[in-house]
Structure 1
């Protein structure tokens, strides 16, 4: 006879908390009656409704970022059982099975400044996107007429890159993303490729390539491939890095002989 799995009676969770950016971090433990089909977002909602630790101490709701609740906004990225994941798509049943005692651990992303509890400041990504001018330089103040046509093959290649949700998981898992290197990260490189392939955005192609040739640029990538493994949207990040590395080199050669 096949074994019948017995559902656990309680869900145990440990949350790494920090009241302010300067405060010392501490861990609080919570227990709740088991309910199937929960994700981490709903689990944090349970804590908010009854913020009492497993020791019976009254506390506060856990602060974390969230918005869409369907893995589109990228806000709720955090360390779940030690791995960078999205809280909205991380299922409690699977997470409990990962650990020996069934306890789920939650912590903020480790490579970004903590704002409070599980919420971190990820503005470095947006500053990096500014460096490579990851946009189409059209302000919409006047009618430019119909946009240039794109070949279907180019549209198919660009579409996966447009699915980036700015979750910064690729930066969290990258061994090269740190203060010493200043590496811009896979997401920024992929967005530079996305806009370089756009007929209207390509007007800034050379500026983007020169930015990626500078400090913290594409030369800092160690090609560990952690990013493509961890990306929740399965973006072709290593392919984008390889293609942009070639384009950056070609641009450098052109600039050298143009002197």
Structure 2
């Protein structure tokens, strides 16, 4: 009986300006394999299906348990986490491509720094740094904690941005992940001191008005964040802040 194998096709690119091509690989099957373990097999023996030696695949990964968010890629045309994409659940040949909305660094590794620039734009942090002890912060009620906790599970994988039709170079839309963090920090008793700054950062080009509410983000999010609710709530807050600014300035 012939040994069972898995077939993988990977879109490769040696650098940002290099021409893309496809490499095909065939690996021995083992129960429980995921996409990351498959690429580890290739790294151990980087030989294509037709017997040509090549280089190991460049890709991002760290935790291997859907926590760090770094191994997001297109798997059979859909944005997924490679660490939780089991080979047994995927149609073969398994086609792996880099995320399409971000600059390619090499092979499956892309530059997702736009997300972190957007998070800086909306001041997605709790301002507690200082030269002296600020003392204990205000108490947070359990009900508020339970409502905010899901949004704190964002792993910055950028899948919501990849699947969003509004996230592109022409719109400059910040994306669902950034908007969700605005809601998270605006509800924090200490973080909400920057609430007005965050809401104003979402006004104008690339802000929340560019969201067309396609809801692709909430369907694709690997952590099942309540993204559409967060977008609705923040949109309301932005409108209210805009009205206040109009009458006070």
How would you bin the TM-score normalised by the shorter chain? Answer: over 0.9
CA deviation profile, 1:81-126 (whole Å, cap 9, x unmatched): 1000001000000013xxxxx2100000000000000000000000
Which residue, out of 118, 129, 154, partners 1:139? 129
Aligned to 1:74: 69
Q: TM-score, normalised by structure 1?
A: 0.94
Which residue, out of 78, 88, 99, partners 1:93? 88
Equivalent pairs counted in the alignment come to 249
Does 2:248 correspond to 1:258? yes
Q: Give 1:140 deviation, angstroms.
A: 5.0
CA deviation profile, 1:7-60 (whole Å, cap 9, x unmatched): 981100000000000000000000011111101110000000110000110001
Does 2:232 correspond to 1:242? yes
Unaligned residue ranges in structure 2 (runs of 5+): none
Which residue, out of 27, 30, 33, partners 1:35? 30
Secondary structure at the aligned position of 1:32 is classed as strand
Measured in 2, the distance between the counterparts of 1:248 and 1:177 equals 19
Q: TM-score, normalised by structure 2?
A: 0.98
Measured in 1, the distance between the counterparts of 2:237 and 2:142 equals 22
Measured in 1, the distance between the counterparts of 2:17 and 2:201 equals 33
Measured in 2, the distance between the counterparts of 1:117 and 1:194 equals 34
Secondary structure at the aligned position of 2:58 is classed as coil
Measured in 2, the distance between the counterparts of 1:142 and 1:120 equals 40
Which residue, out of 174, 177, 188, partners 2:164? 174
Measured in 1, the distance between the counterparts of 2:193 and 2:137 equals 14
Which residue, out of 192, 195, 214, partners 2:182? 192
Q: Give 1:141 deviation, angstroms.
A: 3.5
Secondary structure at the aligned position of 2:49 is classed as coil
Secondary structure at the aligned position of 2:223 is classed as coil
Aligned to 1:3: none
Q: 1:104 to 1:253 in 2, by over 3 A?
A: same
Does 2:211 correspond to 1:221? yes
Q: Verify the 8 A CA contact 2:128 2:134 in the aligned structure 1.
A: no
Which residue, out of 193, 198, 206, partners 1:203? 193
Secondary structure at the aligned position of 1:14 is classed as strand
- Greater than 6 Å deviation, 4+ residue runs: none
